Each structure stands twice: as structure tokens, then as C-alpha cells.
Amino acid sequence: MKFVKVLERLSNACGVAGREDEVRALMKDLLTPNVDAVQEDRLGNVIGVRRGRNDAPKVMIAAHMDEIGLMVKNVTAEGFVQFTKIGGIDDRILIAQKVILHTEKRPLTGVIGSKPPHILKDAEKKKVIEAEALFIDVGASSKKEAEAMGIRVGDPVSFDITFTQLGDDVVVGKAFDDRVGCAVLASVMERLGDVDCTVYAVGTIQEEVGLRGATTAAFGLSPDVGIALDATVAGGVPGVKEVETSIKMRRGPAITVADRGLITHPRVLRLLIDAAEKGGIPHQLEAGLPGSTDAARIALTREGVPSGVISIPTRYIHSPVSMLSLDDAENAAKLAVAAIENVSQSF
């Protein structure tokens, strides 16, 4: 399947942290043709194993399957759905979104309502409405009716946005953090030839709420090297200063030097930079982003696992209208493949 099709399917799939089922099923399908075995661990991480010629070293390459979203917290007597946020969401992007409530019975459409401008007071116009004050309108007239529709406390809620391609290279959609990583992971396994090392391709759960799946997956696999494939903040748009992030879309994948949770092991950093330079793959170095990735947890597994991150610059990350360049994603896959092919010389 073409990369853009894979990304489209992954982006349109829903997998708010803790409810990754739809993405998990897709990842199993995508990995199966290119690995020796696919398994699911007890918490729901998907692990594809590709055994190398001599089994050593073991590389864990991970992308998280979960996305940010909402969760039903309460249904009011009038039938309005109040919610809590799952993962990092700016309250200002919530108003006027169309959402899908994933009830046990069936998916339901709702909208996040707000007060029309006609009746807004001047002071209200300047204020951010906090998530706690917002609600989802599902068209129900009472709590009883909402419950009859199947809505329960704890139901996951995702943004209702369809993947769209803009021109040849640029796409827009939801959950590119980290479905682009998942798509790149599938592509890496497809491109990978015979290698010395054993590769564990892992789709992890619950990254957005604290890097949880990677923690247990890495413990179970005990790899020698870890690589996380993730999305990162792309600047280069009005309002984002160069000092806040110098990473830009269409300049190639970013190689993390350090973020809040990880200082990339020098040998892994060398491996990634060498792979990019020798392969003529455009890339950018990233330092100082106040976030983190699965690599932070992989690195601290057992006695420690030298780890690094390859990420795809993504504009408007953690919003329903994330944007990225397909070329950047393709180059991320090339970079990861080149690094894996050279891993046995460095570890």
C-alpha cells in the first residue's frame, strides 16, 4: 500500500489513549507481512519481531498508537456531555469542534457548543473558556435520552476530522502525533532488507498520558538500542519564534539531541547522524523541546538502553488539523532503515 494511504487509514482511525483497539488492529495488519511474528503484550502494545542473521544486537523501534482526545466525565440533567481532556490539549482549540463519542453501542456525533457572538459580552470575548466549562451537545434532551443513546462515563471522544491531501507533498489530519510514526514504522519494516540485528517493531499504548506502554514493552523486550519514531513541533509559521523551535516542515526528519526526558546517548546520536549524512538524507537536529517521547522510558529500562528519537516535523501538533510533509516522513523511514542497517557495527 502507498505510504499516503497507510497514513490516511491510521489518521482516520480512532485511538484515544487507553482505547487504542482500532489502531492496534491496523498495526497488526500492517506489520504482519514484514515480520516473523506479531504479538500483543498484556497491556496492549503490539510487537512485531524480525529476527536478524545472528540475533544481536536487539533494536526496539517504537511508535505510539494512542492520540490525544477527550473522555466523558458527566452527563447533565439536560443531556449535555461534560468531559475531561486526555493528553495535552489547548482549551482554545476545543470550541466548535465536531467530535465522535465512542460508546459501547456505536459511535455518536456531537459538537462542542459555545455562546454565539450576538449575546457575548465584551469581557467574555477576551476570555479563554476552560475545558471544564465546555460541553458536548449530542442532540439529547435529557440525561435519560443521552444514556439511552449509549453514552456512559468514561467513553472516549475523538475529533471528527477526515484526512486530506493538499497538493503533492502536504497532508492535513488528526492524530499525526503519532500516526505518522506508526506509518513510518510500517514503512521501515517493509523497506528493511536482511540485517544482522533483531528488530522489534513496537506500537505502544498510552504515550500521551505518560509514556506508559513503552515502559512495559521495553522491560519485556530488554533491547540493546532504542529508537522512538514520533511527531515533533514544527515552527516556521507566524507567531512561533526561532528560539522556541528551529525545526521546520519540509527540512527533513528531526534527530533529537536532547528533550525534557532524554539526552540522546552519544553512540545513538552518532549512528543516526552518520546514517543521515552517508545516505544524503536531509535532517535537522533538535534540542531543548519541553516534551518527551517513548525513548525517554526505553532509555531507563533495566540497566539502561542507549536510545534516540527520529521525529517528523508537524505543524499544529495536538490539534485536529495537524499538517506534515510526506517527504519528511519518507526521509524519516529512510533514516531509520539506514540506522538499523548500521547498528551491529556500533553496538
Residues across the chain: 347
Residue ranges that bind Zn ion, judged by CB under 5 A: 177-178, 230
C-alpha cell at 275: 546514517
**In this structure, are residues 71 and 84 in contact, taking their beta carbons and an 8 Å threshold?**
yes
Q: For 225, how many CA atoms within 13 A lie in the half-sphere containing its CB?
A: 29
**In this structure, are residues 264 and 98 in contact, taking their beta carbons and an 8 Å threshold?**
no
* Smallest separation, CB 231 to Zn ion (Å): 5
* Smallest separation, CB 180 to Zn ion (Å): 9
Report, as residue numbers or ranges, the catalytic residues: 207
Task: Give which of 218, 251, 238, 235 is closest to 288, Cα–Cα.
Answer: 235
For 200, the enclosing helix (H) or strand (E) is: strand 198-204
* Smallest separation, CB 64 to Zn ion (Å): 6
Burial of 20 (0-12, 13-18, 19+ CB in 10 A): buried
| Closer residue to Zn ion (CB): 134 or 180 | 180
| Closer residue to Zn ion (CB): 43 or 111 | 43
**In this structure, are residues 17 and 27 in contact, taking their beta carbons and an 8 Å threshold?**
no
* Smallest separation, CB 294 to Zn ion (Å): 8
C-alpha cell at 114: 459555545
Task: Give which of 269, 253, 258, 257 is closest to 334, Cα–Cα.
Answer: 253
Which three-class secondary structure state does DSSP give residue 103? coil
| Closer residue to Zn ion (CB): 103 or 187 | 187
| Closer residue to Zn ion (CB): 178 or 328 | 178
* Smallest separation, CB 213 to Zn ion (Å): 12
Distances 208 to 3, 20, 230, 300, 347 between C-alpha atoms, Å: 24, 12, 11, 18, 30
> What's the CA dihedral at 296, 264, 174, 39 to 10 degrees?
-60
* Smallest separation, CB 132 to Zn ion (Å): 25
User: Alpha-carbon torsion 84, 90, 92, 95, what sign?
Assistant: negative
| Closer residue to Zn ion (CB): 178 or 259 | 178
Task: Give which of 199, 191, 176 is closest to 334, Cα–Cα.
Answer: 191
| Closer residue to Zn ion (CB): 58 or 318 | 318
